[in-house]
Amino acid sequence: MSREWEMVVGLEVHCELSTATKLFCSSRNVFGDEPNTNVCPVCLGLPGSLPVLNAGAVELAMRVGDALHCEIRPSIFHRKNYFYPDMPKDYQISQYDEPINVAGWLELADGSRVGIERAHLEEDTGKTTHVGRGGRIHEATESLVDYNRAGVPLLEIVSAPDIRSADQARVYVGELRGILIATGASDARMEEGSLRVDANVSVRPAGSAELGTRAEIKNMNSLRSLGRAIEHEAERQVALLEAGEPVAQETRHWNEVEGRTSSLRSKEEAYDYRYFPEPDLLPVAPDPAWISKVRASAATLPAERRAQLSAAASDDGKADGEVPAGLVATLVELDLDGLVLGAIDAGAEPKLAVNRAANEAAARPDAARKLDPRAFAALLSMETSGRLSATQAKTVLGVMLEDGGDPADIARGRGFEGLSEEALAGVVDSVLAANPGEWQRFQDGDPKVSQFLVGQVMRETRGKANGKAVMALLAARKG
């Protein structure tokens, strides 16, 4: 975008909460089951059925609200009325003008803050699949509806229009994902639809304080398409304005294949949702004791986890000791910081632990999260000690991620084992015999000569020896 223009973006993120059961009934809340198996009269909206609020969903909403520095407040559910075949009641129960979380903020890694206007609870709809010709309802010959998702608890997190670039939008969603995962509120998987993002995009002359007319973009199913869609939409609006044409306030659809947005419905056709307070539910007023309990058991959030990992992984005081922020962020995002911290605790060399985790383990994060940090540390020290080459260490790590197991056993099984202690002792003895003068100086307490002796052992073993082990042997021989 040219310098004369500034984009203004606000995001609405819908995330499915990881409760055991749905928002208003005891049907199971799981992704990927056989269609229409996790349903009951309540989530199907059958005549006579009534919603009963799931306290677990309220608690997760409060956890996220707390992590986003929101005010947690008494709230009311409303009905949002519109017709759609995947909505069993033809209204959605949602929080409208009195949401549970208001007025918070989220700090990004670069220190910028994005305001959070609200984070409210609502129920998800069913899922329709349109069969035949195009994938849209008006082109379909048949529409299949799966109500397993109907009634799944959603938290809709609405940001202030504080975002100024597509990059910042991506970083914001990434950071939010981290918080949702850290709080245990959601698995936040965009590809499974448990995290969905709508973007409100407008542009204005740079430096202007007024907001331009905005368009809402829907249907972006990855961070990449979110960025592309925002970029494209802002450019489209700039082109319109520069041509002297107005921007219409409307809802637009992102077409991933064509890489452009198209009009879905204009404001004139916008639904009148006829909100009114849901008479089947009581107001939700979490009492102060409950809120304090949630606050007291708050999870460690990504920003703090990044700080912890950076500190643990950095060499003391050295200028080059900083671990790259990108690697740290990736590890926290993939929830692998615990593995690295555990390995460092167990004696692993910090930077190597970060690198192996971020480069090798990160390719298989689910398996990596199950690794025993002590086994990971043992593998890394086999590498630092020279018992394994870097290539061999990566191979062993691959096996550990695949099948688990002890790194020493795996290395032995593959014939990677370097030197036995016995063999090393033999090499040390022969080096001492070959260098009597140096040996004498070592025994006399000259510290400099130890590096020469270790170097000789390394040369003899072609680098396979563990330096610490050699030093230990020298010390033992000195007596």
Q: Does 45 bind another protein (CB under 8 A)?
A: yes
Q: Could you give the CA distance from residue 409 to residue 212 in angstroms, rounded to a whole number?
A: 64
- What is the secondary structure of 90-113 as a DSSP string? SEEEEE-SS-SEEEEEEE-TTS-E
Nearer to another protein, 50 or 390 (CB): 50
Instruction: Give the other-Cβ count within 10 Å of 194's Cβ.
Output: 21
Q: Could you give the CA distance from residue 120 to residue 58 in angstroms, rounded to a whole number?
A: 10
**Residue 283: CB minimum distance to another protein, A:** 11
Q: Measuring CA to CA, how many Å separate 414 from each of 248, 298, 389, 407?
A: 66, 45, 13, 11
Q: Does 144 bind another protein (CB under 8 A)?
A: no
Q: Does 249 bind another protein (CB under 8 A)?
A: no
**Residue 60: CB minimum distance to another protein, A:** 19
Nearer to another protein, 145 or 344 (CB): 145
Q: Could you give the CA distance from residue 194 to residue 137 in angstroms, rounded to a whole number?
A: 22
- CB 145 within 8 Å of CB 85: yes
3-state secondary structure of 216: strand
Nearer to another protein, 81 or 314 (CB): 81
Among 14, 22, 63, 79, binds another protein (CB under 8 A): 79
Instruction: Count residues near another protein (CB under 8 A).
Output: 31
DSSP-derived secondary structure letter, 284: B
- Which residues, numbered 298-337, are part of the site for another protein (CB under 8 A)? none
Structure tokens that stand for 350 in this block: 């910090």
Q: Does 423 bind another protein (CB under 8 A)?
A: no
**Residue 42: CB minimum distance to another protein, A:** 8
Q: Does 279 bind another protein (CB under 8 A)?
A: yes
Nearer to another protein, 53 or 425 (CB): 53
Q: Does 282 bind another protein (CB under 8 A)?
A: yes
Nearer to another protein, 210 or 272 (CB): 272
Nearer to another protein, 275 or 452 (CB): 275
Nearer to another protein, 89 or 228 (CB): 89
Q: Could you give the CA distance from residue 199 to residue 7 in angstroms, rounded to a whole number?
A: 12
Q: Could you give the CA distance from residue 395 to residue 312 in angstroms, rounded to a whole number?
A: 26
Choose the stretch contacting another protein; rule: CB under 8 A; options: 78-86, 328-336, 361-369, 388-396: 78-86
Q: Does 50 bind another protein (CB under 8 A)?
A: yes
Q: Could you give the CA distance from residue 306 to residue 302 in angstroms, rounded to a whole number?
A: 6
Instruction: Give the other-Cβ count within 10 Å of 277's Cβ.
Output: 13
Structure tokens that stand for 361 in this block: 């383990």
**Residue 214: CB minimum distance to another protein, A:** 19
Q: Does 88 bind another protein (CB under 8 A)?
A: yes
**Residue 86: CB minimum distance to another protein, A:** 9
Among 272, 320, 366, 444, binds another protein (CB under 8 A): 272
Nearer to another protein, 84 or 105 (CB): 84
- What is the secondary structure of 190-206 as a DSSP string? GGGTSEEEEEEEEEEET
Q: Could you give the CA distance from residue 276 to residue 262 in angstroms, rounded to a whole number?
A: 32
**Residue 239: CB minimum distance to another protein, A:** 32
Q: Could you give the CA distance from residue 264 to residue 219 in angstroms, rounded to a whole number?
A: 11
Nearer to another protein, 205 or 283 (CB): 283
- CB 231 within 8 Å of CB 249: no
Nearer to another protein, 79 or 232 (CB): 79
Among 53, 103, 367, 472, binds another protein (CB under 8 A): 53
DSSP β-bridge partners for residue 252:
217, 263
Q: Does 49 bind another protein (CB under 8 A)?
A: yes
- CB 395 within 8 Å of CB 406: no
Q: Could you give the CA distance from residue 72 to residue 284 in angstroms, rounded to a whole number?
A: 11
Q: Does 76 bind another protein (CB under 8 A)?
A: no
Nearer to another protein, 46 or 211 (CB): 46
**Residue 139: CB minimum distance to another protein, A:** 11
- CB 172 within 8 Å of CB 108: yes
Q: Does 268 bind another protein (CB under 8 A)?
A: no
| Residues making contact with another protein (CB under 8 A) | 41, 44-53, 79, 81, 83, 85, 88-91, 137-138, 143, 145, 272, 274-276, 279-282
